[in-house]
Amino acid sequence: MKQITALLLIALAALVFLNQQVVAKEAARIAVGDQAPDFSLPDQNGSMLSLKDFAGKKCVVLYFYPKDNVGVCKKEACLFRDQYRAFTDEGAEVIGVSNDTVQSHKKFVTQRKLPFILLSDQHGKVRKLYGVPRSAGGLLPGRVTFVIDRHGTVRLTFNSLLNADEHVDEALKVLKEIGQTPSVSG
């Protein structure tokens, strides 16, 4: 019985690894140059937030992740937290989206001292709208980051289940390239 369990775990790990390589090459349905679809979802406080709330004001780093407070998801959130000032300096807002509940998000934000918004997409409608693929053989929701400029145009889609660092690095790189900083009114 122990041998069967060990073999199943090895097979699952191999499937995750192989699928990671395939998923990383798949593009999300939304591509660079597309207009980002608008949506409305509840944030960690239960308030409704729409993408259009940021139109003309800020760029948005919209990142989809599988689950609150576990493994790579926790690392990714903390990396976005630790670089949050760099994102705001570039005129962007960071927004995380998962299928977790508002209550789960509130707990995650509090535990990890996250300064950004988490949205609850419990039924996966926005995930589907953006074409975020499932990974690990369809077992896990995927991890994809989009950078959306002030005009609602997608400037980056980055898909990697295991490389949390690259999500943050690639998003910052694109924001610096497009050079969108907050306008100052006199």
Asked if residue 183 is part of any domain, the answer here is: no
What pLDDT, in 10s, does the model give residues 5-62? 444 444 444 444 444 433 333 444 899 999 999 999 999 999 999 999 999 999 999 9
In terms of C-beta density within 10 A (0-12 exposed, 13-18 middle, 19 or more buried), how is residue 8 classed?
Answer: exposed
CB-based contact 59:93 (threshold 8 Å): yes
Asked if residue 13 is part of any domain, the answer here is: yes
Q: Which residues are designated catalytic?
A: 73
Report the CATH number at residue 81: 3.40.30.10
What pLDDT, in 10s, does the model give residues 63-80? 999 999 999 999 999 999
Range of the domain at 120: 2-178
What pLDDT, in 10s, does the model give residues 93-137? 999 999 999 999 999 999 999 999 999 999 999 999 999 998 766
Q: How confident is the model at residue 179 (pLDDT cuts 50, 70, 90)?
A: confident
Asked if residue 184 is part of any domain, the answer here is: no
Tell me the angle at which helices 164-178 and 71-82 cross, rounded to the nearest 10 degrees. 30
| Count of all residues that appear for the chain in the document | 186
Which of the two residues, 168 and 182, has the higher pLDDT score? 168
Q: Is the pTM of this model over 0.85?
A: no
CA atoms within a 13 Å half-sphere pointing along the CA-CB vector of 182: 13
Per-residue CA distances from 57 to 52, 86, 95, 110, 164 (Å)? 10, 17, 15, 27, 27
Asked if residue 41 is part of any domain, the answer here is: yes
CB-based contact 55:165 (threshold 8 Å): no
